Amino acid sequence: MDADVEILETRRGASKQFLDDATRALFERGIAALERDCPPDAVQPLREAHAMAPDHAQIRSLLGLAIARVDGEFSEARMLCEDAAKQEFFNPELYLNLALVYLHFGRRSEALRYLRRGQMIDPGHRPIQGLITSLGRRRIPILPFLPRRHPVNRALGTARDKVMSTLSRI
């Protein structure tokens, strides 16, 4: 094995694919920017890393997450993350990233579906457990005889949330 090529291992898990030093450095810059909650700084290094290693699932997944948070491109972000999750279907981190993309665009039920898939793979995955817990359980609709998405239920639910948040500040 060449000295300039190694298996990438980060706190996000090990990948079976080999990355050269330049690609690994770009990938790690992207990870660091996302961990600092600075996705605009992550997009360019991850795009460059993706160009160098287009079949690397972790790079694609993180690029999708960064694109969702910076550019607001749901279809591109979803496609990148879903393709990565299909490629490495045993990696719960990829399902977490896909769920974060869905949450960014307000699609809570789809996000929960992918969080549950990740949880089936690794029941002890703390970030997935924490996100599921933070999402909590949905309350019963104000008018249970109407569908949850009915405009009346939505309006009354929004009003209830505003009243509850106002009361909690008192």
Instruction: Give all domains of the chain, ordered by start, each with its CATH number.
Output: 5-137 (1.25.40.10), 138-170 (no CATH)
Q: Is 170 exposed, middle or buried (0-12, 13-18, 19+ CB in 10 A)?
A: exposed
Q: What angle do CA 50, 56, 57 make, to 5 degrees?
A: 110
Characterize 10-40 residue by residue with b for buried, 16 or more Cβ atoms within 10 angstroms of its Cβ, and e for exposed: eebeebebebeeebbebbebbbebbeeeebe
30-47 per-position pLDDT tens digit: 999 999 999 999 999 999
Confidence of residue 107 (pLDDT cuts 50, 70, 90): very high
CA atoms within 13 A on the CB side of 169: 5
Q: Residue 137 has what pLDDT?
A: 78
For residue 6, list its beta bridge partners: 19
Q: Residue 8 has what pLDDT?
A: 38
Instruction: Give the mean pLDDT of the chain.
Output: 89
Kindly compute the dihedral angle of the four CA atoms of residues 48, 43, 80, 128, in this order, to the nearest 10 degrees. 130
CB of 102 closer than 8 Å to CB of 117: no
pTM, entire model: 0.74
Q: Residue 50 has what pLDDT?
A: 96
